[in-house]
Amino acid sequence: MLTIDRVGTGRALVSDELFAQMTARIAHDRPELAPDLPARILDQALAFLGTCATATGPLGPSDLVDIGWHTFILHTREYADFCQRIAGWFIHHQPEPTSEEPPSGPEPIGAPISRTVAAITAAGFAVDHELWGGRVADCTQCHAGCTDSPTR
C-alpha cells in the first residue's frame, strides 16, 4: 500500500502512458466535453481514489469526476493493480439502488461534496473546484456498501 504524502496531483498516481490512454478514452466517449476537461476529470478521479485509500468515512465523486472513475474501471487490470498498490484492497464502485430496486443491505450513506473535497485536500491533492461544483454521482462510493471495505 502506498502512503500518500503531498502527491499534489492525482495524475502522479499512474504512468503517463496510462493517463494518456484514459484521457483519450474520455475524450472519445464524451465528445461534448471541452478539450481540457478529460485530463482534468481524470486527474480528479485519481485524486479521489487516492483519497478513498485512506478515508475513514464514505466519499463520493461529482458527476464529472465519476466519468473518470468509470473510465479507469474499464481498464480492469490496471484498475485492480492501482487499487492494490494505493489502498491494499479493491475500491468498489457500488451504485445506489434505483427506486424500483430493493436495497440489498444496510441503507446506503451518501457523501456531501464538501466532505469529499475536504478529504481530498487533507490527503494532499490539489482540488479542481470547477469539477466539484455538481452533485454527487448516484453511488455510495468508497466505503458505504462496499463488501470488502476496511470500515465494515
Q: What phi and psi values does residue 62 have, to the nearest 5 degrees?
A: -70, 170
Task: Give pLDDT, residue 38.
Answer: 98
Cβ 72 vs Cβ 148: under 8 Å = no
pLDDT tens for the chain, residues 1 to 152? 444 455 599 999 999 999 999 999 999 999 999 999 999 999 999 999 999 999 988 899 999 999 999 999 999 999 999 999 999 999 998 776 666 655 554 444 457 889 999 999 999 999 999 999 854 444 444 543 333 333 33
Q: What amino acid is encoded at 22 in this protein?
A: M
Cβ 113 vs Cβ 136: under 8 Å = yes
Task: Give pLDDT, residue 117.
Answer: 95
Question: Which positions ≥6 away from 102 have C-beta within 8 Å?
Answer: none
Which of 45, 15, 67, 72 lies closest to 127 in space, CA to CA? 45
